Amino acid sequence: MSIRATVKSALGDRNARTLRRLRNRLTGRPPEPPRPTGLAAISDDLTALAVHFKTDKWGTHRYTRHYQRHLQHLKNERFNLLEIGIGGYGRTGQGGASLRMWKHFFPHAQIFGVDLHDKSFVDEDRITTFVGDQSDPASLNAVADKIGELDVVIDDGSHRSPHVLTTFATLFPRLKDGGIYAVEDTQSSYWPEWMGSEDLDARHTTMGMLKRLTDGLNYEEFVDEEYEPTYTDLNVVGVHFYHNLVIIEKGRNAEGSNKRRVLKQRYSDS
């Protein structure tokens, strides 16, 4: 055991702190900054915050470690985060756990949530909720109009494929360049009972749509000269797949291709 640990053990925490302050005063050292307590002590750890606020983004799922990796760069930025689905269904006074988690992880962000049910009891400084329907583009656009610029969108709504596809088609174009779009609980894509499909190649499911984005990342390599790139082809620069979670990065996808140089014979007459 080190000398410092031995002294601390012998004196106890309080007396050890008093002794350190006296030593610093005598030696002219600046006082040690107070150590954070309560929520401040865990504000840099998204998983700890998830456990504290009892959101299933950790425990039932393992999402927070992935979110921390992909959203850490926004930690001290001012930005808007919108989450689809606030939790608690129609039960009075239930829901809002993840909105509180986001608020305490991002100290300068504005946190917004939308749900089919009135969750206004969650509203507080930097948290605002709306009533809206993710299956209705007009409803989603009305919410987005009230928020303004969207930097992060998280779909934790109904998890029904038609709703997820509608939400993505409506809100992804409104996401700013450099923004992040996340789709949670993609397991429902494989469940017919949840409007998914057992067919792994089904195009109408959440995963069918998300898997197509990976081909779109490489649209410049397609040899079909008649192919017209889609909006997502041109504006998705990264797709990260995790267990039941997909995170999409938005940006200008136009790095170019070397296919004409490599495939000289194919393009010799063009």
Q: Which tens digit of pLDDT belongs to each residue from 184-237?
A: 999 999 999 999 999 999 999 999 999 999 999 999 999 999 999 999 999 999
- Is residue 106 within 8 A of residue 75, CB to CB? The reply is yes
> What is the pairing mode between strands 150-155 and 127-131?
unpaired
List the beta bridge partners of residue 240: 247
Rounded CA-CA distance 129/112 in Å is 6
Residue 159 annotated to the active site = yes
In 11-93, where do the E strands start and end?
A: 80-84
Q: What is the pLDDT of residue 2?
A: 59
Q: What is the pLDDT of residue 38?
A: 84
Q: What is the pLDDT of residue 48?
A: 97
Q: Taking Cα atoms as reference points, which of 145, 95, 138 lies closest to residue 115? A: 95
> What is the pairing mode between strands 80-84 and 150-155?
parallel
Q: What is the pLDDT of residue 27?
A: 72
Catalytic residue among 66, 159, 204, 240: 159
All residue ranges of the chain with pLDDT < 50 are 7
